[in-house]
Copies of this chain bind each other. A is one copy, B any other.
């Protein structure tokens, strides 16, 4: 079989690490002399991230501007360093490496992920799994977000039919519904922020090592 894996909240707890990164960044800004209560800064930052999107590169600059920081360069440098230190220390969910290497003995394994290509590659690298996969498919490279078209293009690239392919991911609307709609078998892993949202997946598991019993 050809197994496609999502990255975020499938291979590693991305929601958790994003929150932790912002948490550490806010504490670093306070440490750099930004004299506001943690909760106030968190609320402001969350609003900025929501308004500008998570890929906007100047969240902390914007926060400093809104709060008229006294020493913006220092505060932003502290925030960015704390944020990146945390982002760079990401680790996989338990068993992920062992399970992937095990599956790799009898199947071909691929990444199928949405996002900016360099950022997604960076995650694979930091997680220590970037050399595990036979190929990596990223929405930015394929030219379409995760949708039926995204999965059709992967089938084309793999030169195969949907019956040979399984998609494994956490997101009911990105990983499961569109893959299933083009005939790919789907396994939903109940992790991260979508874990309580219903999905039409063919199988559901609650941790990565349950995959071994399915193949």
Chain A contact residues, CB within 8 Å of chain B: 73-74, 76-78, 80-81, 84-85, 88, 117-122, 125-126, 130, 136, 138, 140-141
Contact = CB atoms under 8 A, between A and B. Distances in A.
A81 B117 contact: no
A84 B118 CA distance: 14
| Stoichiometry (number of copies) | 2
Contacts of A73: 117-118, 120-121, 138, 140-141
Contacts of A85: 88
A136 B33 CA distance: 14
Contacts of A121: 73-74, 76-78
Contact of A122 (B81, B119, B136, B141): B81
7 A-B pairs closest in CB distance: A73-B117, A77-B121, A77-B122, A77-B118, A74-B121, A73-B121, A73-B118
A109 to B, nearest CB: 16
Contact of A76 (B118, B126, B138): B118
B125 A81 contact: yes
A43 B73 CA distance: 34
Nearest to A79: B118
Nearest to A33: B131
